[in-house]
A and B are shown apart, each in its own frame.
Chain A
């Protein structure tokens, strides 16, 4: 019998080797994943084919974006199936059609703003949309900001600065929104998710997380939130159990509903290495992109990377 993970209303069957790549192709690692209205799954990855598209059963459909994306990082699917793609190596965000035509570009590819200047962008990380289609961009590794843009790419406002107080950030890593306009920000190295209104006014925060990294919310009122948490990476706590990497499912107020992942990282079916992005299909199936290639040496400094590395997972919802 296949492994069942999760609990309560969130129980999943692990689908082994879900993605069927063309012979000789590799993701290297899947930084971000999205699902469109037809349950096509988009794997935004750091290999030679930055976007690979699959059907719900993992059959390969197409690829695009070759040569355009130095370091895939974030993906958000718009309600019209447009893709908002963030590249932290290029310091830019692009809106693309499902077959890869670029509709909008925000930021100057290859030209970062000065480190911690607050100006867009220095290694931007992710996007989300307001109920009116305005674009929030988390920024990121070299800034401690969230920027809000009009749907056609004009900067409206920005908030945040480095620090640990409410409204301050320590690696703004992912962002998501709900139908009431709340903005949820993964403040990764502060071990929290901060919640803001659409103008950047601090509302509350969720704690009791370990390096929350990937955020996904289905667009609705009071949605649940899927949180990918990274594991310990410092020598001092590298071997401690129960710190992730794992996927936690919480309600819209941050209350824990279910959690997937063994007490320790690893390549096993019930373990994670670096859950960096999640998406959910129309049947409740959860896809997890993992930056396993990048994180492996931090988790297992004395072991070579296994080949191939599993970096895109599917968890089929048990009904």
Chain B
């Protein structure tokens, strides 16, 4: 999170799923940070339920000024999202 690469695409924020040896299995998140349903701001805590659904907690409030130093935080910023696994 530095001015020098703040605008570069494809560096996250994102969620990556790897095997136990670190091999990439799946990745999601847009090329840039954002508030769209497919984008992230700061995926900070993850958990999975019995059906394989994924819950992602995001430290969006803290991260916002770093991504958007010139835009005030919106009144609501998403910080917990559910991803239902497709079976």
Q: Is the CB of A116 within 8 A of B8?
A: yes
Q: Is the CB of B1 within 8 A of A170?
A: no
Q: Is the CB of B11 within 8 A of A115?
A: no
User: Interface size of A by Cβ–Cβ distance < 8 Å?
Assistant: 15
The minimal Cβ–Cβ distance linking A99 to chain B, given in whole angstroms, is 34
Q: Is the CB of A189 within 8 A of B4?
A: yes
The minimal Cβ–Cβ distance linking B33 to chain A, given in whole angstroms, is 14
Alpha-carbon distance between A233 and B1 when the two chains are bound, in angstroms: 10
Q: Is the CB of A116 within 8 A of B9?
A: yes
Q: Please, which residue of chain B has its CB at the minimum distance from the CB of A168?
A: B10
Q: Does A37 contact B (CB under 8 A)?
A: no
Q: Please, which residue of chain A has its CB at the minimum distance from the CB of B9?
A: A162
Q: Does A297 contact B (CB under 8 A)?
A: no
Q: Is the CB of B5 within 8 A of A189?
A: yes
The minimal Cβ–Cβ distance linking B32 to chain A, given in whole angstroms, is 11
Determine which of B1, B4, B9, B11 lies in contact with A141 in the assembled complex, contact meaning CB atoms within 8 Å: B4
Q: Please give, as numbers and ranges, the residues of chain A lying within 8 Å of B8 by CB-CB distance.
A: 116, 144, 162, 170
Q: Does B2 contact A (CB under 8 A)?
A: yes
Q: Is the CB of B10 within 8 A of A161?
A: yes
Q: Is the CB of A164 within 8 A of B11?
A: yes
Q: Please give, as numbers and ranges, the residues of chain B lying within 8 Å of A1 by CB-CB distance.
A: none
The minimal Cβ–Cβ distance linking B87 to chain A, given in whole angstroms, is 28
Q: Does A171 contact B (CB under 8 A)?
A: yes
What are the interface flags for A181-197 relative to B under an 8 Å C-beta threshold, 1 for contact and 0 otherwise?
A: 00000000100000000
Q: Please give, as numbers and ranges, the residues of chain B lying within 8 Å of A163 by CB-CB distance.
A: 10-11
The minimal Cβ–Cβ distance linking B10 to chain A, given in whole angstroms, is 4
Q: Please, which residue of chain A has its CB at the minimum distance from the CB of B8?
A: A162
Q: Is the CB of A162 within 8 A of B11?
A: yes
Q: Please give, as numbers and ranges, the residues of chain A lying within 8 Å of B81 by CB-CB distance.
A: none
Q: Please, which residue of chain B has its CB at the minimum distance from the CB of A143?
A: B8
Q: Does A2 contact B (CB under 8 A)?
A: no
Q: Does B38 contact A (CB under 8 A)?
A: no
Alpha-carbon distance between A144 and B5 when the two chains are bound, in angstroms: 11
Within 8 A of B (CB), among A142-199: 144, 161-165, 168, 170-171, 189
Q: Please give, as numbers and ranges, the residues of chain B lying within 8 Å of A144 by CB-CB distance.
A: 8
Determine which of B1, B10, B11 lies in contact with A234 in the assembled complex, contact meaning CB atoms within 8 Å: B1
Within 8 A of B (CB), among A119-151: 141, 144
Given contacts A162-B11, A233-B2, A234-B2, 14 further A-B contacts (CB under 8 A): A116-B8, A116-B9, A141-B4, A144-B8, A161-B10, A162-B8, A162-B9, A162-B10, A163-B10, A163-B11, A164-B10, A164-B11, A168-B10, A189-B4
By a beta-carbon cutoff of 8 Å, the part of chain B in contact with chain A is 1-2, 4-5, 7-11, 24
